Structure 1
Amino acid sequence: MTRSPSHLPPNHSTLTLVSLAAVPWHFPLVGRTRMLTEAWHAHGQPCLFVESPSLRTFAQRLTLRAPSVAGAPVVRTLPVWPLRWCRGPQDWRLTRSAGWSAAALLKALRRRVDLEQAAALVVTPAWTPWLRKLPFRTVIYDCIDELSVHVPAPRLAGAFREWEDELLQRAAGAVVSAERLGADLRERKPGLPIRLIRNGVDAAAFQGRAAAAPRPVDVPTGRPIIGFVGALYSWIDWELISGVIRRLPECQFVFVGPDDGNDAIAALRARPNVVFLGPRPYELVPAYVKAFDVCWIPFRQDEVALSANPVKAYEYLSLGKPVVSTPIADAESFGDCLAIVKTPDEAADALRAAMHPDAAVAARRVAFASDNTWQARAKAYLEFTRALRGG
């Protein structure tokens, strides 16, 4: 199996990659945007990570409770009125605060980069009102989720669709993490240059942290562990999870990550073989994955899941863990490293079967993860951006 290149090409230009992120730098679920930024930064490629203009993060900074970003290429701007509190895209509180925030961001960026020599990598259409005031020469839509993932309230779905349409018209190209996402964008803007760049993992770093960390004391002992790490939000299939837990009373189910207060969680907490641990710092996540016997991805079988290329799948596989998943985007790209299931019976059977370790299969999983590194993704992204700009 051919290893993906782990280094970036030399930087022969003043191109700066400016990621307009969907989350703060220290969001508990460290994902694609930060990982790509770290890969570029580590190899000397000029880059910036612009945090989402969160009122909560801003309040933490004012009270000195925000984690430090010293040494990281992070830009912070003024917050805006929270979208979930807005009546619509023309809500005066949003438009006024967005105008102030965009002006402040423009000043901050001009102190650090030449916007003519910068490319904006836009992760969510929520940045569209800012882009109207930011004279980037190149804009790339980094489309990594189905649109509804970004929408904080149903009444704003139409606004996000309009913002996405405007973003597509501004964009010189798009990067997608799944084929399904690319097909949708091609239909909406024929001729748009699109590059498929899936997610990945810093396999060596993940493995190193797992090897160095002790077993977390809050992970139960005495039963086989079926574990999940990630956001326990609307895309989780609680009906399937409940059915699987009933079928596997001999197993312990451990969930690590933030949740949205779904009623199903309260009901499952009462089960003797279920533990919800809440979010954990990303530095500790490898230790939790190492403690799992089997990992799973129990998503609802809808557009969100069928457009998702979960980072957690690569992280699980980097430790050689067996992974059972409901259907996700481009599942075939994982080869035999994922067991795909659709029903509680299928899931329970696959999880039982995965309890029996196989060293050769585990080695193939590790090799797959090592072939899909963030360094390789960062290199592909940089090459695509340069091609859009003519070299």
Structure 2
Amino acid sequence: MLERYGVVYFGNDWFAENRTSSHHVAQRLAAHMPVLYVDSPGMRTPQASGRDLRRAWRKLREALRAPQRVGEGLWRCTVPQLPFRRVPGVPLFNRLFSQWALRRAMRVLGTRQRISWFVTPHPGFLARRLGERFCVYYCIDDYAAHPGVDAELIAASDLALTRAADLVFVAPPALVATKQAQNPQTRFSPHGVDARLFAQASDPATQLPAAAQGIAEPVVGYFGSIHEWIDVELIAWLAQQRPQWTFLLVGYAAIKVSALEALPNVVLAGAQPYASLPAWAKAFDVAIIPYRRNRQVENANPLKLREYLATGKPIVAVGNPEIERFASLVRIANDRDPFLAALDQSIADGPAHGAAERMAAVADQTWDRRVEDVLREVATSLAAAEMNLAARKVTE
């Protein structure tokens, strides 16, 4: 029945430095029904940095263009908003402008009935305003805990969207109970992984990137953006304790990392194409998740956890509820000395020790399977809603 529908999908920036669950889910939804992917503006107020100004200018230019086809059955458009949401008149302007722009963009979906699908809460004021038959909120984070956001406004947007949605999917296990209390139609839906892609890290045929060739071993590796919730001081301390090791960090640095840049055994590779991450991971002797312990991390479901497991590499991580579900496969250490001891043990064991078990643990947790499970729930709920509507019409 889903072939009768098209999806208006509010996700993260399509051109973001890293691929998130927002991108993975949208690409797979498009295999089942047409998807209009709407770049959602950042939750935080833009800063006067060159990067933020370039992004704002790009979004303004793209808002005037027709949706861009980025895949089979998948189009992308940008609907920018004024970020000053507490200024009188701005919320009304954002709503009216967004509705006008989306009416034009939604033409790519043809005459199909629509499903609105939100991965971020701040455009949630558009829920039920697009003529959609069904609304999905796919919650992947504790958004109000992100640094630099207006926590009160984002929390209010998150709550309103949770209550408005016909179906809520929640990736972080720590948020499930709260969301179920706010909306009984809430389902736990943990992240998936591109298991076949990341298995290339264990394939002898995979070539190391040039920048990873010839570096001193052993290699402690990390891939993903470096944001405020990454404990840069922990990484620097570890590198100072083991100057004979190489710390290879692959990803865009969104914060200052001068403490790392000053260390000769730290390699900052910068942002790299998503498809190349397994090749970088092949160089790792052990992979790390060096989180800061805070509310955001406690309520997170780290995508890189399953990606690391799919590479087969040993993992040392600061714990949270989702990571602790894999405690038999991941060395969890919440302080500096235990973290260093866990790295020592992982390197002593070698990267092949336990690799098969780690890879097997996520082999069936693919994004394809996750999206199939989600769509099964959506189809069931849609069928029930249509039956209820038909029954009401009969009794009227």
* Length-normalised TM-score, structure 1: 0.84
Could you say which residue in structure 2 is the equivalent of 1:298?
290
Structure 2 distance, partners of 1:176, 1:253, is: 33
Q: Residue 337 in 1 paired to residue 326 in 2?
A: no
Which structure has the larger Rg over C-alpha atoms? 2
CA distance in 1, matches of 2:58, 2:72: 18
Contact 1:203–1:370, Cα closer than 8 Å, also in 2: yes
Among 168, 176, 181, which residue is 1:182 paired with? 176
C-alpha deviations, 1:37-93, integer Å up to 9, x for none? 222334x344342222563543675999x9972546023033223x2xx2x334545
Q: Is the CA contact (8 Å cut-off) linking 2:201 and 2:311 kept in structure 1?
A: no
What's the offset of the Cα at 1:31?
1.4
- Could you tell me which runs of 5 or more consecutive residues in structure 1 were left unpaired when the two chains were aligned: 1-10
Residue 37 of structure 1 is matched in structure 2 by: 26
Seen in structure 2, the aligned counterparts of structure 1 residues 323 and 92 have a Cα distance that, compared at 3 Å, is same
SS in 1 for 2:78: coil
Residue 246 of structure 1: CA displacement? 2.5
Deviation at 1:376, TM superposition (A): 1.1
Quote the residue 2:299 is aligned against: 307
Residues 33, 73 of structure 2: 8 Å contact kept? no
Deviation >6 Å, runs of 4+ = none
| CA RMSD after TM alignment | 2.8
> Is structure 2 residue 181 aligned with structure 1 residue 193?
no
Paired residues of 1:244 and 1:345 also in contact (CA < 8 A): no
Shift in CA distance, 68/55, structure 1 to aligned 2, threshold 3 Å? farther
Mapped partners of 2:352, 2:344: distance in 1: 17
Is 2:375 the counterpart of 1:382? yes
Give 2:19's aligned amino acid: V
Match of 2:354, SS state, is helix
- Separation in structure 1 between the aligned mates of residue 128 and residue 71 of structure 2, nearest angstrom: 30
Contact 1:142 1:176 in 2 (8 A): yes
Question: For the residues of structure 1 that align with 2:288 and 2:339, how far apart are their CA atoms?
Answer: 9
Counterpart in the other structure of 2:6: 16
Residue pairs, 1:239-250, within 5 angstroms: 239-250=233-244
Instruction: Provide the C-alpha distance between the structure 2 equivalents of 1:365 and 1:40, rounded to a whole number of angstroms.
Output: 28
1:18, distance to aligned residue in structure 2 (A): 3.4
AA aligned to 2:264 is P
Unaligned runs of 5+ in 2: 42-54, 385-396
Residue identity in the other structure for 2:11: A
Give the letter aligned to residue 103 of structure 1: W
CA distance in 2, matches of 1:244, 1:107: 53
Residue 344 of structure 2: aligned partner: 352
Is the 8 Å Cα contact of residues 174 and 321 (structure 2) preserved in structure 1? yes
* SS state at 1:69 partner: strand
TM-score, normalised on structure 2?
A: 0.83
Measure the CA separation in 2 of the matches of 1:267 and 1:218.
21
- Counterpart CA distance in 1 for 2:276 and 2:239 is 26
SS in 2 for 1:291: coil
Q: How far does residue 159 in structure 1 lie from its aligned partner after superposition?
A: 1.4
Q: 1:224 to 1:51 in 2, by over 3 A?
A: same
Change (3 A) 1:59 1:208: farther
Query: Of 129, 132, 152, which aligns to 1:133?
Result: 129
Q: Which digits, 9 at most, give the CA deviation of each residue in 1:329-361, with x for residues without a partner?
A: 322432522111101111111111111226461
| Fraction of identical pairs, as percent | 28
